Amino acid sequence: MDRFVSPVLWQFLTRWLHASALFPAEASGISPYVDALYFFLLLMTVVGTSLVALLLLTFCLRYRREKSPVATQVEGSTLLEATWTIIPLAIFLLVFVWGALLYFRIYDPPTNAMNIYIVGKQWMWKAEHPGGQHEINALHVPTGRPVQLTMISQDVFHSFSIPDFRVKREVIPGRYSTVWFEATEPGTYHLFCTQYCGTLHSMMIGEVTVLTPDDYKKWLDQSTSGMSLAQNGERLFASMGCNACHSGNAAARGPNLAGVYGSKLTLTDGSERLVDDAYLRDAILNPSQHVTAGYAPIMPTYQGQISEDGLIDLVEYIKTLQSNYRVQQTQMTSQSDQAAPTTPTAGTTEMVKP
Amino acid sequence: MSPSTSHSAPVTHTILSLPDQSTAKMPKRHYLNNEDGLLSWLLTGDHKRIAILYLISITFFFFIGGAFAGLIRLELLTPQPDLVSADTYNKFFTMHGIIMVFLFLVPSVPATLGNFLIPIMLGAKDLAFPKINLLSWYLYVAGGTLTLAALVLGGVDTGWTFTTPLSTHYLNTHVLTAATAIFIAGFSSIFTGLNFIVTVHRMRCPGMTWFRMPLFVWSHYAASLLMVLGTPVLAIALVLVALERIAGIGVFDPAKGGDPLLFQHLFWFYSHPAVYIMILPGMGVISEVISTFSRKRVFGYTAVAFSSVAIALFGFFVWEHHMFIMGVSNYSALVFSLLTMLVAVPSAIKIFNWTFTLQKGSITFETPMLYAFGFMGLFTIGGLTGVFLGSLGMDIHLTETYFIVAHFHFVMVGGMLMAFLAGVHFWWPKMTGRMYPESLSKLAAVTTFIGFNLTFLPQFILGYLGMPRRYHAYPPEFQVLNVLSTAGATVLGIGYMLPLLYLGWSLKYGAIAGDNPWQATGLEWQMQSPPITSNFVETPIMDHEAYDYEWLANKTQKEVTTVG
Amino acid sequence: MDSVLTTAEHVEHEHASLPQHRHHFETEEQQREVGTFGMWLFLLTEIMFFGGMFFAYLLYRNWYYPAFAVASNQLSVPLGAFNTVMLISSGFCMAVGVWAAEMRRKTLLVIMLILTTVFGLIFIGVKGVEYHEKYENHHIPGFDFSTAAFTNPPVDAKTGKLTEEPISPDMAQHTEIYFFLYFAMTGMHAVHMIIGIVLLFWLIRRANRGDFSSGYVAPIENFGLYWHFVDIVWLFLFPLLYLINRHPLH
């Protein structure tokens, strides 16, 4: 839109409106693009309404009874009908294409996006950074990096909305939904739940804090409170007994999970599936529908035994699993009756209750 | 008379002035005094009496729904949740939505004006199934009573959309009662629509071809198609919700293998056509009003008629646009967005056709016309903001915010409610034999228009700022706009109270209307006001086009005598 | 020319009319056509009503096929087939009844209506037996539902083999959705049948009085439409619910 509108005018318009509390801040990479479409649509509305209003006014003045005592009966005009069918249709189709392109941009994250997990529950948001930082009703992100949010609800529909970033996605129970953004301006911005979810729906709000990359790093370092998500996942993997079957040995009862994330699996029913976050989560909860070809359907379901947080930990762990060395280490640890080899771990050493 | 397809040359005379009403007399016998006693009303088969029964009950529910709106706006004066508790507030907007959508907007024009006028406009003595018509009213009353029961017992707070799994597993309010109430009211709607369709198909008088019917009938026909085909799906969605609440199993609960999105599809499959059920009859009113007060046939009759049916048809295929951000497949979102753009076009066609009806007319500005103008402007804005929402990328930012609230209030209140008021004022003389006070009604119309804009224009801004809907409390920077909105709501409320007062007053003290105070075409205006019970003593034969002002002008001067 | 007259001078209709003639209709033919049209339209709404449930069924069957297959094996095909025969027979009797009404043969009409009712009642009775069996087996969703029969199927005494291929617990959980849809769909169907049977009692009474054997056949015809529709819904329900891919062991 820089080509069509002078950047000075654009900046003036959006910043002035924002200062008057009439317009949200443009704080993400996609915001200006969304605003551009919005202004076009506003223009369309103003022009359309003005046209109708002008016609109404003109006709009313010109053809009011005092001025026009006799009405002329007019059947219609095919030309006019065609005109006001085709022109609106053309404009609406333009809007359709523009909006569709924007939609695909907002909902297709770039491959280098850093992932943060969001769990929504009545009536709070939990943000889980891969490094283990946990936030409640808050989200810290750096500028200049695409951030992907992988979200799930623990109970009902919620919706994660950051108006200043112009992004919003429903947070659904039972499956992951994702949205991404790249923050451009340091500052604090509103975070809302926008899908009615019960009593304290209006309290399910928070703050998104955007920091410069340096500040973000500082924040990360100082707010690490425990294990990273993957480390938690490793604990769960051992304590839930996953390593018994998924040990990585040749004769193991379960398929090798090292490097499985991002690969294409063939299942026993012949179908091919891409292993992404959703697949991993589903495989843990509904294993009978996700049996890798060549293996027996003996994996028990963990439905009801792991919370969404636990599932996220496990998914993170499997995502980062490149070799089965540590899997086998933890197996030896859990099986052996000798003192466990000490591996320095930051934070607590108590078992994480799933 | 051969139809011309472009601006026709011959200048035709049309009626210059309204007839002298000072000598108009109230007919001795008409449908209101034909029979006496409460039972003659409660067991009536007369479509006109049923229409009046509906008018009374709909008005009743409108004001209850309006009271809730007032309470909502009152709470939103301040950013803090300081007026009522969160649960109570959630009940407010739920009850407001349920009552306004199902108990007011859906039946408003069809059940009152449609019931009253369609047989007359078609030259029939009654609808096809008078007893089913009465049953419709009783079902409406039953549904309404159950809704009130839910309210009195403690209310329901699911939102009018009953989103699962919130409504099935996470609330312990009177969801079952409310769902049953809407289920019953839905059948009222289905039977009304069924009645209309059969009447239009089979009970037109001789000479009344499809293209001689008033556009009011076309709109109702299209809306009836939607009522008949769409409402059953809502019924089954509610049944499944009720069963799930009773049995506790998880058809819609993912923890038990169900799919909450299934409910969304079933619910919106009806609820999107529902909005066209609500607006199409209103559009029918506008056709009649604009034609009458310009003394001109509607510009592009065929286009308007076909547009109504097109809206109904396309309206069935756009429901997923309420779910664009809910994790539906991107490609299905593409399809539904495209279809949404298509469904916007027939509405635009209609707006322009009505506008051009004014050209070369002879326009006067009675109250129904004022409401019609209000409709034109506000519906244009409301409809165009719908295009915002149909555009995928834009919808991401705007959905679930006050932008949506503003959009649907513009089309429903600025559009539909204004059309309803236009229709009530327009046909009030016919239904009651009395005129309403013109100056006061004009004041009410203008008040409503101003109040409406003040209430809902700020909400577009709030929506873009990101204020979510159904919020009890909000960040302080949104307060100014909210205060404006509440101020507007107060003005709007006054604008709606006025008709209640003066229309009631007019029943006893209004000027006598006479048979055709507006000098309108249409069979209903060629008989006494109020009409006799059987509408016509002898079946009319239609030998002229709809909106035929030349025929009206050439009509013999013999005044229609009233039944004495 | 005046085309609309509302003066009081005009007289009543002169043509002889049946007592059931409603005065807002011009002719009996119009009244009959209107009645039939109305009934067809009503049946269209019923299709939309059942359609919602069929859609839910198709969705979940697609997702959870193994669970649906084993759950459907719990239904008794012989009973279902018998019920289908009952319904088709009742439909046949209804059709003959309509013909009898048109032929003004009162006794035949009454007999046919009674037979229709009897077949319908048998159907409901068998449905009751089936529902009771589900109750015994703890297969009513939400009321002590048990998936034991699917995770640990019993051994067939004669062959010594399992009667069913066992399925994993997480898949077995989805059998509850199957049974929910089973009860919802057949239950809704049964409600329509019961409404039909109640109407039949009323029709039998009126037919016995001779109301339908002198040219006024609309209620019989239109009820026939309704009854055949209920029949057709069952013809879809039966294969979808009872005949899902019978187990290879059988």
Structural domains of chain A in order of their starting residue, each with its CATH number: 7-66+78-107 (no CATH), 114-223 (2.60.40.420), 229-332 (1.10.760.10)
Instruction: Say what the pLDDT of residue B21 is.
Output: 62
Q: Which of B300, B258, B304 is nearest to B283 (CA)?
A: B304
Q: What is the pLDDT of residues B244-285, one digit of tens each?
A: 998 877 788 887 778 899 999 999 999 999 999 999 999 999
Q: CB–CB of B202/C33 below 8 Å?
A: yes
Give the span between the Cα atoms of B327 and B549, in whole angstroms: 55
Instruction: Say what the pLDDT of residue C239 is.
Output: 92
Please, which pLDDT band fits residue C14 given cuts at 50, 70 and 90?
Answer: very low
Evaluate the CA torsion angle A237, A238, A239, A245 in order and state its sign.
positive
Q: What is the pLDDT of residues B178-201, one digit of tens each?
A: 999 999 999 999 999 999 999 999
Please, which pLDDT band fits residue B13 given cuts at 50, 70 and 90?
Answer: very low
Q: What is the ipTM of this complex?
A: 0.91
Torsion of CA A213, A215, A217, A220, to 10 degrees: -130
Q: Do A297 and C168 touch (CB under 8 A)?
A: yes
Give residues with Cβ within 8 angstroms of B7, minimum separation 6. Answer: A72, A74, A77, B360
Give residues with Cβ within 8 angstroms of B462, minimum separation 6. Answer: B401, B402, B403, B406, B478, B481, B482, B485
Instruction: Provide, as residue numbers in chain C, all residues whose Cβ is less than 8 Å from the Cβ of B130.
Output: 22, 24
Q: Do A288 and C173 touch (CB under 8 A)?
A: no
Task: Quickly count: other Cβ atoms within 10 Å of residue B138's Cβ.
Answer: 13
What is the three-state SS of B109-149?
A: HHHHHHHHHHHHHHCCCCCCCHHHHHHHHHHHHHHHHHHHH
Burial profile A9-34: b = 16 or more Cβ within 10 angstroms, e = fewer: ebeeebeebeeeeebbbbbbbbbbbb
Give residues with Cβ within 8 angstroms of C22, minimum separation 6. Answer: B130, C31
The pLDDT mean for chain B works out to: 92
Q: What is the pLDDT of residues A2-60, one digit of tens each?
A: 456 677 888 877 877 887 788 999 999 999 999 999 999 999 999 999 999 999 999 99
Instruction: Say what the pLDDT of residue B412 is.
Output: 96
Residue of chain B whose alpha carbon sits nearest to that of A175 = B254
Q: Is the pLDDT assigned to residue A273 strictly greater than 70?
A: yes
What is the three-state SS of B50-92?
A: HHHHHHHHHHHHHHHHHHHHHHHHHHCCCCCCCCCCHHHHHHH
Please, which pLDDT band fits residue B5 given cuts at 50, 70 and 90?
Answer: very low
Reduced to 3 states (helix: H, G, I; strand: E, B; else coil), residue C162 is strand
Residues 32-71 of A with CB under 8 A from B: 33-34, 37-38, 41, 44-45, 48-49, 52-53, 55-56, 59-60, 63-65, 68-71
Q: What is the pLDDT of residues A299-349, one digit of tens each?
A: 888 888 889 999 999 999 999 888 777 777 777 665 555 554 444 444 444
| CATH architecture for the domain at C27-243 | Up-down Bundle (1.20)
Subunits next to A (3 or more Cβ pairs <8 Å) are B, C
Q: What is the pLDDT of residues C105-116, one digit of tens each?
A: 999 999 999 999
**Mutual angle of helices B215-247 and B301-315, in 10-degree steps:** 10
Q: Do B249 and C64 touch (CB under 8 A)?
A: no
Please, which pLDDT band fits residue C29 given cuts at 50, 70 and 90?
Answer: confident
Q: Is the pLDDT assigned to residue B465 strictly greater than 70?
A: yes
Give residues with Cβ within 8 angstroms of B121, minimum separation 6. Answer: B213, B214, B216, B217, B522, B523, B524
Option in A81, A95, A101 nearest B349 (CB): A81
Write phi, then psi, for B261 (nearest 5 degrees): -70, -25
Instruction: Say what the pLDDT of residue C249 is.
Output: 53
Option in C4, C63, C173 nearest B540 (CB): C4
* DSSP 8-class letter at B468: B
Pairing of strands A158-162, A167-171: antiparallel
Residues 63-82 of B with CB under 8 A from A: 81
Option in B233, B259, B558 nearest C52 (CB): B233
Domain locations in chain C as residue ranges? 27-243
Query: One-letter amino acid identity for B267?
Result: F
Q: Is the pLDDT assigned to residue B385 strictly greater than 70?
A: yes
Give the span between the Cα atoms of B47 and B54, in whole angstroms: 10
Q: Do B387 and A49 touch (CB under 8 A)?
A: no
Instruction: Provide, as residue numbers in chain B, all residues whose Cβ is less than 8 Å from the Cβ of A302.
Output: none
Q: CB–CB of B271/B232 below 8 Å?
A: no
Option in B14, B295, B466 nearest A192 (CB): B466
Q: Is the pLDDT assigned to residue B8 strictly greater than 70?
A: no
Subunits next to C (3 or more Cβ pairs <8 Å) are A, B
- The neighbouring-strand residues paired with C230 are none
* DSSP 8-class letter at C156: P
Instruction: Say what the pLDDT of residue B558 is.
Output: 45
Residue corresponding to tokens 């052996």: A336
Q: CB–CB of B65/B104 below 8 Å?
A: yes
Q: What is the pLDDT of residues A87-104, one digit of tens each?
A: 999 999 999 999 999 999
Give residues with Cβ within 8 angstroms of A326, minimum separation 6. Answer: A234
CB proximity C137 to B under 8 Å: no
Q: What average pLDDT score do residues C141-163 get? A: 84
Give the span between the Cα atoms of B47 and B529, in whole angstroms: 15
CB proximity A303 to B under 8 Å: yes
Pairing of strands A114-121, A146-153: parallel
Q: Which of B376, B186, B417, B397 is nearest to B293 (CA)?
A: B376
Give residues with Cβ within 8 angstroms of A281, minimum separation 6. Answer: A152, A175, A176, A311, A315
CA distances from A259 to A78, A247, A249 (A): 65, 13, 14
Comparison of pLDDT for A16 and B152, the residue scoring more: B152
Instruction: Say what the pLDDT of residue C108 is.
Output: 94
Instruction: Say what the pLDDT of residue A326 is.
Output: 76
pTM score, whole prediction? 0.90
Please, which pLDDT band fits residue B559 given cuts at 50, 70 and 90?
Answer: very low
Show the domains of chain B with their CATH numbers.
38-563 (1.20.210.10)
Rg of the Cα trace of chain A? 28
Write phi, then psi, for A264 (nearest 5 degrees): -105, 120
Q: Is the pLDDT assigned to residue B501 strictly greater than 90?
A: yes
Q: Where are any strands of DSSP class E within chain A? A: 114-121, 124-128, 134-136, 138-142, 146-153, 158-162, 167-171, 177-182, 187-193, 206-211, 264-266, 272-274
